[in-house]
């Protein structure tokens, strides 16, 4: 059993029915936090996340809400208002439009750009807008800065990723992390985690099981650390920003990509 260092803290994780959001929620529950789990359509998956968090002892609420809308973010903030404060907010919900050939500019439409932007950039902003009073309340009551973590991507740093639109949104999210960290200190800390490849349904749904397995193998061979990350690997790093271990850290973006950004060229075949 993990140390219960987050006992009594109230946490909201967007897009937590599946993938990385689910792993982060479960890690928070293991350490004693109470949770709001959020999904849009994946109700069955979200219920599984809730059941696991409850099994770990968390008091868990499930809120179906679209973070790209003001109403959706207000609904999530209203649920957190039942606690009277919010100690931890993870802006994790994200989408992409796959267009891997970045030279093919016709592969993306204006709608693709705007849809991706609405969830990946406007979403975290609207969540901050809706939750700011509760994040401030947590600081006022506990004397501890509340912790916000944005799930960004290595795509926002390197420009390499599932599409030009996706990479651009994550670059914008990294910049917003800096702006809000500066503006909301000292009461609220705002940081970001930038995963490289994560083996989640994004790839599993896009390709068949066999092709996915081959992808995982080739990713592992291409990273300096020789591994393909799963959601739990990223969640473990993310926890640094959500606990007191990072109490003096704000405006930071942490690359969790098994070293991919180093542009590794293997000298010997693995
Ligand atoms: P995922 O699809 O399993 O998780 C994304 C979650 O966001 C889903 O549960 C989805 O329902 C939810 N979501 C989407 N739109 C939403 C909306 N408008 N409102 C509320 N929820 C919404 O994929 P994942 O890989 O776990 O992605 C989580 C985060 O990690 C995303 O921000 C993504 O950009 C980022 N990321 C993923 C990878 C990867 O390789 N999979 C790499 C880097 C960063």
- Assigned domain for 73 exists: yes
Residues known to be catalytic: 166
- Assigned domain for 3 exists: no
Give distance in angstroms: CA of 94 to centre of ligand 1: 4
- Indicate the top mutation candidate among 93, 169, 171, 172 to test ligand 1's pocket, ranked by most ligand atoms within 8 A of CB: 93
Structural domain span for residue 87 = 10-198+230-256
Look at residues 190, 200, 146 and name the one whose alpha carbon lies nearest to residue 22. 200
For atom 3 of ligand 1, which residue has the closest CA?
Answer: 19
- Residue 118: C-alpha distances to residues 125, 182, 196, 267 (Å): 10, 23, 22, 42
For atom 6 of ligand 1, which residue has the closest CA?
Answer: 15
pLDDT of residue 202: 74
pLDDT of residue 266: 55
Instruction: Report how many domains make up the chain.
Output: 1
| Ligand 1 pocket, CB under 6 A | 14-15, 17-21, 38-40, 42, 66-68, 92-95, 119, 151, 153, 195, 197-198, 200-202
pLDDT of residue 262: 92
What mean pLDDT is reported for the chain?
95
Q: Secondary structure of the chain in the HEC alphabet?
A: CCCCCCCCCEEEECCCCCHHHHHHHHHHHHCCCEEEEEECCCHHHHHHHHHHHHHCCCCEEEEECCCCCHHHHHHHHHHHHCCCCCCEEEECCCCCCCCCCCCCHHHCCHHHHHHHHHHHHHHHHHHHHHHHHHHHHHHHHHCCCEEEEEECCCHHHHCCCCCHHHHHHHHHHHHHHHHHHHHHCCCEEEEEEEECCCCCHHHHHHCCHHHHHHHHHHHHHHCCCCCCCCHHHHHHHHHHHHCHHHCCCCCCEEEECCCHHHCCCCCCCC
For atom 18 of ligand 1, which residue has the closest CA?
Answer: 66
The CATH number of residue 41's host domain is 3.40.50.720
Asked whether residue 269 carries a pLDDT value surpassing 50, the answer given is no
Tell me the per-residue pLDDT of 5-16, one tens digit each, with 9 for 90 and over: 999 999 999 999
- Assigned domain for 4 exists: no
Give distance in angstroms: CA of 19 to centre of ligand 1: 7
- Assigned domain for 206 exists: no
User: Please, are residues 234 and 198 in contact by the beta-carbon 8 Å criterion?
Assistant: yes
Q: Give the number of the atom of ligand 1 that is nearest the alpha carbon of residue 201.
A: 3
pLDDT of residue 176: 98
Tell me the per-residue pLDDT of 146-201, one tens digit each, with 9 for 90 and over: 999 999 999 999 999 999 999 999 999 999 999 999 999 999 999 999 999 999 87
Is the pTM higher than 0.95? The answer reads yes
- Assigned domain for 167 exists: yes
Distance separating alpha carbons of residues 27 and 56, to the nearest angstrom: 10
Tell me the per-residue pLDDT of 203-243, one tens digit each, with 9 for 90 and over: 777 788 889 899 999 999 999 999 999 999 999 999 999 99
- Assigned domain for 57 exists: yes
* Residue 200, Ramachandran bin (φ over 0: left; ψ between -120 and 50: alpha; else beta): beta
Question: Per-residue confidence at 267, pLDDT binned at 50, 70, 90?
Answer: low
- Assigned domain for 208 exists: no
- Assigned domain for 59 exists: yes
Give distance in angstroms: CA of 92 to centre of ligand 1: 6
Residue 228 CB coordination number (10 Å):
20
């Amino acid at each position: 059993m993990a140390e219960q260092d987050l006992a009594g803290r109230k946490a909201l994780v967007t897009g937590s029915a599946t993938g990385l959001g689910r792993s982060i929620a479960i890690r928070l529950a293991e350490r004693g936090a109470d949770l709001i789990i959020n999904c849009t359509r994946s109700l069955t998956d979200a219920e599984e996340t809730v059941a696991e968090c409850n099994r770990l002892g968390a008091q868990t609420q499930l809120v179906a809400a679209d973070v790209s809308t003001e109403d959706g973010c207000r609904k999530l903030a209203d649920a957190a208002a039942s606690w009277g404060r919010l100690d931890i907010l993870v802006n994790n919900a994200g989408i992409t439009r796959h267009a891997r050939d970045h030279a093919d500019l016709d592969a993306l439409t204006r709608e693709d750009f705007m849809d991706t932007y609405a969830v990946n950039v406007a979403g975290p902003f609207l969540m901050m807008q809706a939750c700011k009073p509760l994040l401030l309340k947590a600081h006022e009551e506990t004397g501890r800065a509340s912790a916000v973590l944005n799930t960004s991507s290595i795509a926002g740093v390197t420009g390499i990723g599932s599409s030009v639109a996706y990479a651009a949104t994550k670059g914008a999210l990294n910049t917003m992390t800096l702006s809000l960290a500066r503006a909301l200190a000292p009461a609220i800390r705002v940081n970001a985690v930038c995963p490289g490849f994560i083996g989640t349904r994004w790839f599993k749904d896009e390709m068949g099981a066999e092709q996915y397995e081959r992808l995982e193998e080739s990713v592992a061979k291409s990273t300096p650390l020789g591994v393909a990350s799963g959601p739990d690997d990223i969640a473990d790093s993310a926890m640094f920003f959500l606990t007191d271990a990072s109490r003096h850290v704000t405006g930071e973006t942490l690359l969790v990509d098994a070293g991919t950004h180093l542009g590794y060229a293997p000298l010997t075949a693995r």
